[in-house]
Structure 1
């Protein structure tokens, strides 16, 4: 009877498959075997693309005469450090007693690529090949994946996009890095006074570098504008609160050139003049002109995808996206959470039907056991399949990251930080089974003569999902003009304000001039950069707005953290480990200027995202690999030849000089 061969991506995953099969497995060098099955593994990539010199020795020397490098047929080779495991896998693939090969590498583009390269190098022929596609490593999910495994051919489009992604990074990296290094490396190195260093560029990493440098230059060029607001200290019964003056229609200052914005003056003397005028009013009272009460409903946020989780972990725990991915990958391998490298923030309808199992398991997780029990008791999970948290159309490869409800005993053997990340995933998951949080809001407009003052208050009246997610202490919110949007208050104060009516009279106890200044843009943190990459260069901080924007970003959920890590490793970017704030290095700024003056499209987030979108179209079968490859080769060839013809080194020195003033002995001069 022919045996089944299971090929996992890592040894730890292979062990889980072996356990799930429940067969008497004997351990061998590089694989496990029973009477019916053989389980083996890759160790990440076993095969890689060959360097140009493997095509011809002439390509070993970097020279414009050998560029652009665009091979008709690409060469591949076994990675020397893992050749032993490759030989073992290759031998198993060719065993005569193996009838069916189950591909169990990670369920995504990169996992597909890892196996396809091995199969190509090994020359697999005449055997049934099936693709196992799973969302978690629980025994139940592994067995379902094996049971429902599809013919490998159904994933050929995905494999095509995987090959093209690698070719794209390879061709852009080799051609552009060589061309720019030949043209500019000596200029950059001589300017910095260090050892020769090649210029490293890439389809995604250079775009990210550009986003950071542009933001840093926006901050440097930002001119702070002072402004002066006038507040009236008002009192109703024993309650005191401030009203903010605004020059609305009817005011003596309406549309005055003295204003910075309607709620502040450009110069302090004008604010003082207004205060003096108000203080001379015979009756130091204000009259309620308008009172608006309304209820605000805040729904639980969508579930975590990798980018959202990386952003929250950067903000809450001050860890890098790379660290977050490493932790959540470990949680996945320990069966605690579902597949982490996902862009989806919703459940599939199939999973929604079985979600009770996940919730039930969380009763064993003491920090959230009471919440899980409450959800089960009330049955609030039953309608989740018809809610905004379930949408098959928003899922490509995998649904959102959620807890499996299994493996909880293993948490005790993991780090405290891993526990915190798991807790964040659990609370985000359980939140969706709770009602919205409800706030009561009151907006108040009071009048003194022709001048009006504005106040806004909010109180949490029904905790809803915040009971699980936590309710961070709300503070006064201010925009760059200093306008106070709303102030959190208690129920007693809100109840008192609710008794006010139009025409009610309030005592005015005095005035205050509050000085402020406009704020420069914020630097990216590692987490906000991941979000900006996901949204094609737009830093969209509003959680609800992000959920409405769908499209391919820069890089993928699987690669974004690694790109940031590489940029820091080659010292183009600097990451503050305590704050997770990202800034460019002097070398990074110089490389930005070089690319801007030579291959500017590499810095364009929308263009970079369009390449990723093209790969998605290939994976969907919308365009052919040949069409995509034709556009890629044209782009690489045109820009490589253009670099050779440029003569702009002298002009670039001016750019280098402009950036250099912000650096001293390798340390950035922070702008106050």
Structure 2
């Protein structure tokens, strides 16, 4: 009997439906001919708790840290015992096993750890399914690989799991016990990803709170030129008081010049014209979709992930959603027209977009060299019955379909114009953009980025019709929201000061993974470290105090991003896991030595004071500075050790 072990019941059903023969259900499995398909329920196993290694570890004590297992143990999750028993029984009757976990690091881990835990010693094949439609699953079944090819991926996932346990268990116990000494009765959870994400928000809030607005002044002049009118902006010279962004800090020079401008004659001294062709945005990865869905529809990252899972598993309208890739396999290009016509035929909006598509166009999205274990999110071709979808499901599906349809539209073609005028010996600049071919852009927005300038010729004159000085004020940056925090997690190198580390992160950029980023935000909210104020995410008093009490390296992104680099080397280059874990243990000993009740007590006091003083505001237009209030305290009551 051939036994296929899928990651989830939905995938098991899709595999069974793609096999020749009539499916027959039995407890915990589906039988089709001589093949039995069973499933996990996500992770059936988890890292054993500390007291599984030594009963003395059941009591939390500082003098037992760090806890360092010599031989790692897994234990069944409480609700998974029944399914684990079913797989154990099926394995005894199997002569061939197929690993059908999702095509990513965690998918490799959660099925393989079950196979090894239950003692299977025979050959294992690997089935990679990224699309639950029957033809796609049938193609995948015809391309089984040897699971040994994916051992580096498994070792990387196993190393990640063990490292998370070491880091979270030891630091959470240390700071929770220190917190009790400082008067805080509750768990202080520390994790390798969640804590640096919290650090991003805490630092942003502190910048906003500490921001002092500064006035600056801009001067514009409306010019009549030979074939129309335009507005130009004064560019003051360095002899005037300017900030580091070239903004004028004193009103008098602008006001004095403004008085002399009406009726003044100017001349166009420099004219730069550049034609640009911008290709369509690529199809979505999960994180890119979460950013756009939050901006366009106000959908939280967690809801986007859950919606994508529903579109993938329940409705089978999209391909595997937890993807970090924005490219599509080249073999999908030939079938793209049929796939999109099938997917879009039930929706007026999608059909309208499809009518403008030219399927002879081949965009940069079709690139096998850019596709790894999975490809960009795309429609499967199954017709989308919008009446059966929720509003959120329909909105997310349209975004996914739109970005694939856009690959068959022309590039956005523009003519960008920069004009520099000399008026009364001063420099005034204007810029505009003329859209030559809108290409894909109407699928995304009808708004022009910059209005066009009238036709201009270098050397022509212009007469000032009107002018004015605008009094402006610098503003703090906006607080993080779901979209901006996901984007920050994707591009974490921007928040790293060390140029050498930033260079290293270019190819290994990111906090968390496509599958975990939304959950990290929700975990921080649930544990009382972040609070939502409208769309804004703010750090609470407790979250701010935790970051202040930790060594800076724990709350900075460098450490966890470099972890991902080491894990990537294990997965992609078959590097040994031992040096990575040994380095982590050495770091842990240093970090544990920094736990200090006095520092935490002061951090809690300081955070309370900052919360009391901070103004209540949930948004602000972005400018040069930084501000925000800490949120309300919510203390976790359950003893929960963190990853």
Fold conserved between structures, TM > 0.5: yes
CA offset digits 1:579-623 (Å, max 9, x no partner): 2x2110110000001113xxx322221221110111111112431
Matches within 5 A, 1:244-643: 244-247=233-236, 254-260=237-243, 264-279=247-262, 284-333=264-313, 334-366=315-347, 367-375=349-357, 378-381=358-361, 383-384=362-363, 388-409=364-385, 411-467=386-442, 469-474=443-448, 487-489=450-452, 494=453, 497-498=454-455, 500-538=456-494, 550-576=507-533, 578-579=534-535, 581-596=536-551, 600-640=552-592, 642-643=593-594
Take 1:186 and 1:315, find their aligned partners in 2: how far apart are those partners? 43
How big is the shift at 1:374?
A: 4.7
CA offset digits 1:518-542 (Å, max 9, x no partner): 23223222122112212235379xx
CA contact (8 A) 1:177 1:201 kept: yes
CA contact (8 A) 2:379 2:400 kept: yes
* 1:119 counterpart = 2:115: yes
How big is the shift at 1:293?
A: 3.0
CA offset digits 1:637-669 (Å, max 9, x no partner): 3322x13xx5x5445544444432332499967
Matches within 5 A, 1:154-173: 154-173=149-168
How big is the shift at 1:313?
A: 0.8
Structure 2 SS opposite 1:401: coil
CA contact (8 A) 1:184 1:594 kept: no
Structure 2 SS opposite 1:637: helix
1:370–1:264 CA distance, 2 compared to 1 (3 A): closer
Aligned match of 2:22: 24
Take 1:358 and 1:549, find their aligned partners in 2: how far apart are those partners? 35
Structure 2 SS opposite 1:571: coil
* TM-score under structure 1 length normalisation: 0.85
CA contact (8 A) 1:160 1:618 kept: yes
Matches within 5 A, 1:218-257: 218-236=207-225, 239-247=228-236, 254-257=237-240
CA offset digits 1:545-598 (Å, max 9, x no partner): x9x95424211111111111111110101134x42x2110110000001113xx
* 1:93 counterpart = 2:116: no
Take 2:613 and 2:257, find their aligned partners in 1: how far apart are those partners? 50
RMSD: 2.6
* TM-score under structure 2 length normalisation: 0.89
Structure 2 SS opposite 1:432: helix
How big is the shift at 1:304?
A: 0.8
CA offset digits 1:407-456 (Å, max 9, x no partner): 424x4312111011010011111112211111223322222221232111
Count of residues paired in the alignment: 611
How big is the shift at 1:295?
A: 1.9
Indicate the structure whose relative CO is greater, using CA pairs within 8 Å and at least 6 residues apart: 2
Structure 2 SS opposite 1:408: coil
How big is the shift at 1:311?
A: 0.5
CA contact (8 A) 2:508 2:564 kept: no
Structure 2 SS opposite 1:18: helix
Matches within 5 A, 1:55-74: 55-74=53-72
How big is the shift at 1:151?
A: 1.8
Take 1:37 and 1:48, find their aligned partners in 2: how far apart are those partners? 28
Structure 1 SS opposite 2:531: strand
Take 1:663 and 1:582, find their aligned partners in 2: how far apart are those partners? 15
How big is the shift at 1:260?
A: 4.3
| Worse overlay, 426-435 or 654-663 | 654-663
Aligned match of 2:631: none
Aligned match of 1:105: 101
CA offset digits 1:473-523 (Å, max 9, x no partner): 235xxxxxxxxxxx414xxxx4xx21x434433332232011112232232
How big is the shift at 1:261?
A: 6.9
1:629–1:139 CA distance, 2 compared to 1 (3 A): same
Take 1:570 and 1:295, find their aligned partners in 2: how far apart are those partners? 51
How big is the shift at 1:329?
A: 1.4
1:518–1:669 CA distance, 2 compared to 1 (3 A): closer
- For structure 1, which runs of at least 5 residues remain unmatched after alignment? 190-195, 248-253, 476-486, 541-545
1:659 is matched with which residue: 577, 591, 607? 607
CA offset digits 1:281-301 (Å, max 9, x no partner): xx5333333333332322211
CA contact (8 A) 2:318 2:378 kept: yes
